[in-house]
Amino acid sequence: MQIARTVSIAFFLAGAALSWGAWQLGLGSARVPEPGLYPMILGLSIMAISAILLFVGDETSSEESPASKPQGHRLETVVTLLALVLFILIVRFVGFAVSSVILLAILFWNGGIRGAYRIVFLSITIGVAAEIGCRLIGIPVPEPSLLSLLRDGL
Amino acid sequence: MDVLSNLGLGFEVALQPTTLLFAFIGVFIGTAVGVLPGLGAPGAIALLLPLTYGLDPVVAVVMVAGIYYGTMYGGSTTSILVNIPGESASVVTALDGYAMARKGRAGVALGMCAIASFIAGTIGIVLMTVLAPLLGRIALSFGPLEYTVLLGIGLLCASFLVSGSQWKALLMLLVGLALGSVGIDPITGDQRFTFGSVYLLDGVKFVVVVMGIFGITEVLSTIYEGTAERRLFQPSTRFSDLLPNRDEARRSALPIARGSLLGFFLGLLPGGGAVIASFASYAMEKRLSNRPDQFGKGAIEGVAAPEAANNSAASAAFVPLLTLGIPFNAVTALILAALMIQGIRPGPMLMSSNPEVFWGVIASMYIGNLMLLVLNLPLVGLFVQLLRVPYPVLFPVILLITMLGSYSIDNNLMDVICALAFGVFGFVLRLARFELAPLALGLVLGPMFEASFRQTLIVSRGDFAFVLSRPIALGIFAVATLWIVVSVVLRRRERGFSTPASE
């Protein structure tokens, strides 16, 4: 359970950082607590419990460790994440509909759908419908709108 | 009768055509989401929250509650037909439900789910109608100490009751509380952990986090783990094939009644909720049955009892939300968020300040239950078709909705980035086998807990003996200790089930 150890170490460090930040805020006393008191309690508890997880381990790991596959679909997961990051990066410039179409196309392909026509058709239909639908029922979507893009050009 | 006239007011609100329409939409969407893999009730509600912004408060809550009920029911459908519980509350249903499907009784199992849920939901709501005003009156005398004790114990129970490691759950809870302390200090108004960012002044937004850890994380994990081959039983959807025969009906009657009562009381308790209720009632029926060897091989009681229990527990979970303003699970926390967006603060005052909301929600639960029965039995075939939507089409659409949903909360791209970050964070935690629900609960209850904790310190001048002078707080302590003992016993028993379920 390598990843569980890494996560526990990370939480231990985060707990330490939280306690240090709480110290900076000032603790006050039990009678007159200042902003740092409560985060300090949390930070110390986080450190304590992640230390327990690190050194004592937890009771469930032995029961279920071999069943889970250590090797998952890493590539597909990473591509999915990158597509989402790309979406966030471009949505301000090309608007919701266009970036949705790009996001969907990448994800459809990544999920194993093949055939350019099918992917293009599905993503354009869903992406454009999403923007029009949202505007119709008043759900805010990132600007610029598809309409203004079509009018002014990219 | 005061209660009856108030309930009358509630029905007046709930029977408005718009309310009915949105209750229907909620139940329908909820069932669809429950049937589809990759999104649970909290994720679905978070994503659909933007739809409620423009609505009247009552209508908004009615719709969200409808989604909740719908997902519970939809989750059972997949348990029975594909042996994949759509919701953790329907894990037990898969044991006998799927066995029934293999014997060609899928239709009856589905029908029994709907009937048991309906009866249980109705019993739960009747109990709630009687109990909620009572509890609301008691809650009026609660001070900061009582809230601190109640919240503290609720948080502890919630982390005690998860299925994995309790230490990990406790750590998640603390991380949630720590995230909840970001923003403006509730007592002094100082900035904490904002790093000079205006975005963080409001704190870490609960709905954004939920979209991340229940939406994006869920999809990423499923993509990472790959999807197993599904074997779908196509049930006959002729109406007569959905009804249990005389013998089955007779055998299910008492389990439904017992399951409803047990479920309601477990649902009232913090951290109890639908999951533990379904396990507990299954265990109880197996013990009481005169043919326990049939359980796991397609006993209809094994479908009826847990379905009844998880449904009445779902309605019971509204009691602490509406009377105390404390949500004890992620779904009621989202309903709290929906109400706050509408400018309504649930709590002891809700009944007098917004009686139409309080009673409207209760009345609409009756209607929602009826709708679920009318909707689900005839439309079972349609929902089954949804199971055929291939994952590669489904997941991109869910991710797109998450992106859109997190943007539309505040028209802010920062929220989208934040949701994605929490999605990745949750994914890593999931790989390390951490439960994410306690984190969400810690985040939502954290600020409330801190405020009442610090008020208590100030009022009591840091003197612990103050606690001894408050009988209600002591009473809560006593009940909670008992509850923790009982739940540890239940948990041990629940572990016994996990082996056959994973077969």
Question: Which H, E and C letters describe B119-163, residue by residue?
Answer: HHHHHHHHHHHHHHHHHHHHHCCCCHHHHHHHHHHHHHHHHHCCC
Q: What is the pLDDT of residue B229?
A: 52
CB contact under 8 A, B50 and A139: yes
Residue among B297, B388, B379, B314 at smallest CA distance from B97: B297
A142 and chain B: CB distance < 8 Å anywhere? yes
How large is the average pLDDT for residues B418-445? 90
- Look at residue B284 and tell me whether its pLDDT is greater than 60: yes
- Residues 226-285 on B with a CB inside 8 Å of A are 226
How large is the average pLDDT for residues B202-227? 86
How large is the average pLDDT for residues B164-191? 87
- Look at residue B363 and tell me whether its pLDDT is greater than 60: yes
Query: Among partner residues B174, B413, B429, which is closest to A92 by beta-carbon distance?
Result: B413
Query: Among partner residues B168, B396, B416, which is closest to A53 by beta-carbon distance?
Result: B168
- Using a CB-CB cut-off of 8 Å, the residues of chain B touching A137 are 51
Query: Among partner residues A29, A49, A67, which is closest to B171 by beta-carbon distance?
Result: A49
Q: Which residue has the higher pLDDT, B283 or A105?
A: A105
User: In Å, how far is A124's CA from the nearest CA of chain B?
Assistant: 12
How large is the average pLDDT for residues B433-448? 86
pTM beyond 0.90, yes or no: no
Task: Indicate the residue type of A136.
Answer: L
Query: Among partner residues A46, A92, A107, which is closest to B175 by beta-carbon distance?
Result: A46
How large is the average pLDDT for residues B47-64? 81
- Look at residue A61 and tell me whether its pLDDT is greater than 70: no
Query: Among partner residues A81, A134, A142, which is closest to B413 by beta-carbon distance?
Result: A142
CB contact under 8 A, A76 and B223: yes
- Using a CB-CB cut-off of 8 Å, the residues of chain B touching A35 are 185, 187-188, 190, 192
Task: For chain B, give the percent of residues with pLDDT over 70.
Answer: 91
Q: Tens of pLDDT along B90-117?
A: 778 888 888 888 888 888 888 888 888 8
A41 and chain B: CB distance < 8 Å anywhere? no
- Look at residue A62 and tell me whether its pLDDT is greater than 50: no
A18 and chain B: CB distance < 8 Å anywhere? yes
Q: Tens of pLDDT along B383-408?
A: 777 777 787 888 898 899 889 888 88
- Look at residue B503 and tell me whether its pLDDT is greater than 50: no
Cα–Cα distance measured from residue A95 to residue B449, given in angstroms and rounded to the nearest whole number: 41
Cα–Cα distance measured from residue B276 to residue B287, given in angstroms and rounded to the nearest whole number: 17
pLDDT band of residue B498 (cuts 50, 70, 90) is very low
Q: What is the pLDDT of residue B162?
A: 65
Cα–Cα distance measured from residue B20 to residue B77, given in angstroms and rounded to the nearest whole number: 24
pLDDT band of residue B235 (cuts 50, 70, 90) is low
pLDDT band of residue B380 (cuts 50, 70, 90) is confident
- Look at residue B372 and tell me whether its pLDDT is greater than 60: yes
Q: Tens of pLDDT along A92-138?
A: 888 899 999 999 999 999 988 888 899 999 999 999 998 888 888 77
- In contact, B124 and B263? CB cutoff 8 Å: yes
Tokens in use for B241? Answer: 């094939």
User: In Å, how far is B12's CA from the nearest CA of chain A?
Assistant: 27
- Look at residue A65 and tell me whether its pLDDT is greater than 60: no
How large is the average pLDDT for residues B477-484? 76
Cα–Cα distance measured from residue B460 to residue B444, given in angstroms and rounded to the nearest whole number: 26
Transcribe A91-139 into DSSP letters.
HHHHHHHHHHHHHHHHHHHHTT---HHHHHHHHHHHHHHHHHHHHHHT-
In whole angstroms, how large is the CA radius of gyration of chain A? Answer: 24
- Look at residue B457 and tell me whether its pLDDT is greater than 90: no
- Using a CB-CB cut-off of 8 Å, the residues of chain A touching B404 are 96, 130, 134, 139, 141
Which ipTM did the prediction report?
0.90
Residue of A nearest to B166 (CA): A58
A26-30, B262-266, B310-314: segment of lowest average pLDDT: A26-30
What is the rounded average pLDDT for all residues in chain A? Answer: 84
How large is the average pLDDT for residues A4-26? 91
Q: What is the pLDDT of residue B484?
A: 72
- In contact, B105 and B111? CB cutoff 8 Å: no
pLDDT band of residue A60 (cuts 50, 70, 90) is low
Residue B183 backbone dihedrals phi, psi, to 5 degrees: 115, -145
